[in-house]
């Protein structure tokens, strides 16, 4: 899979007052069903008062279209419509990556973003070189100044972007949460 093939579905729902629990149950079921579709790469959900922003990633447009056209999704949308104020609003984007700012929600202050980024990168910057050390000793050409820094930096970036940052931002979402735009 080529990184350029990844496509993102951004779904925005504004729910009616008092339906939080019903919507959250529906959302859990929906994310489980979406995850069962081929090419599904993950989902992040961000809540801001009565608004939910769901960011779903698929490995390509064909896989995303399969989810969008599915009878499962149509049934789930029909089920949730009575809970929504503005209906099912979504957009497809092949270029965006989301760590902190999904659409209509203000991003958290930069100092909070910096703290979370530091929390993720610091331990990796100490651990990754240690993990690569045996390979650098076995293949001296890989352990040179430039090659080793390229390998270490690439490892850290890939771990941050694809593994740690989505999980850490979800874990700290309540702390990171911005105020709703008016």
pLDDT at 169 over 70: yes
Give yes or no for residue 99 having a pLDDT over 70: no
Mean pLDDT of 41-57: 86
Longest dimension (CA), the chain: 64
Cα–Cα distances in angstroms (integers) from residue 22 to residues 16, 17, 31, 55, in the given order? 11, 11, 14, 20
Q: What is the pLDDT of residue 177?
A: 67
Which residue ranges make up each domain of the chain?
Answer: 3-93, 110-176
The single residue listed with the structure tokens 């352990």 is: 143
Write the secondary structure of the chain as one string of H (helix), E (strand) and C (coil): CCHHHCEEEEEEEEECCCCHHHHHHHHHHHHHHHHCCCCEEEEEEEEECCEEEEEEEECCHHHHHHHHHCHHHHHHHHHHHHHECCCCEEEEECCCCCCCCCCCECCCCHHHHHHHHHHHHHHHHHHHHHHHHHHHHHCCCCCCHHHHHHHHHHHHHHHHHHHHHHHHHHHCHHHHCCCECC
Q: How confident is the model at residue 124 (pLDDT cuts 50, 70, 90)?
A: very high
100: pLDDT strictly greater than 50? no
**Token pair of 126, please?**
């100490």
> What's the mean per-residue pLDDT of the chain?
85
> According to the model, what pLDDT value does residue 134 have?
95
Q: Residue 131: its pLDDT value, please?
A: 96
Q: What is the pLDDT of residue 45?
A: 87
Q: Measured between alpha carbons, how far is 25 from 116 in angstroms, rounded to an integer?
A: 29
Q: What was the pLDDT predicted at 94?
A: 59
**What's the whole-number mean pLDDT along residues 123-141?**
95
3-93, CATH topology level: Alpha-Beta Plaits (3.30.70)
How far are the Cα atoms of 42, 69, 99, 109 from residue 120, in angstroms, in the given order? Answer: 19, 37, 13, 17
pLDDT of residue 151: 95
The per-residue pLDDT for range 55-85, each reduced to its tens digit, is 898 988 899 999 999 999 999 999 999 999 9
């Amino acid at each position: 899979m080529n990184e350029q093939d990844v496509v993102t579905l951004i779904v925005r729902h504004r729910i009616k007052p008092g339906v939080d629990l019903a919507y959250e149950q529906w959302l859990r079921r929906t994310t489980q069903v979406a995850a069962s579709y081929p090419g599904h790469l993950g989902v992040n959900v961000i809540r801001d008062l009565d608004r939910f922003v769901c960011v779903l990633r698929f490995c390509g447009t064909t896989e995303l279209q399969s989810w969008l056209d599915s009878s499962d999704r149509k049934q789930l949308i029909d089920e949730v419509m009575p809970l929504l104020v503005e209906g099912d609003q979504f957009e497809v984007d092949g270029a965006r990556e989301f760590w902190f700012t999904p659409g209509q929600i203000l991003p958290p202050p930069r100092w909070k973003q910096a703290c979370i980024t530091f929390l993720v990168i610091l331990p990796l910057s100490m651990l990754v070189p240690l993990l690569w050390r045996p390979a650098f000793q076995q293949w001296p050409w890989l352990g040179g100044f430039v090659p080793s820094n390229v390998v270490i930096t690439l490892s850290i970036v890939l771990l941050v972007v694809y593994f740690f940052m989505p999980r850490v931002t979800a874990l700290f979402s309540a702390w990171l949460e911005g105020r709703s735009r008016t």
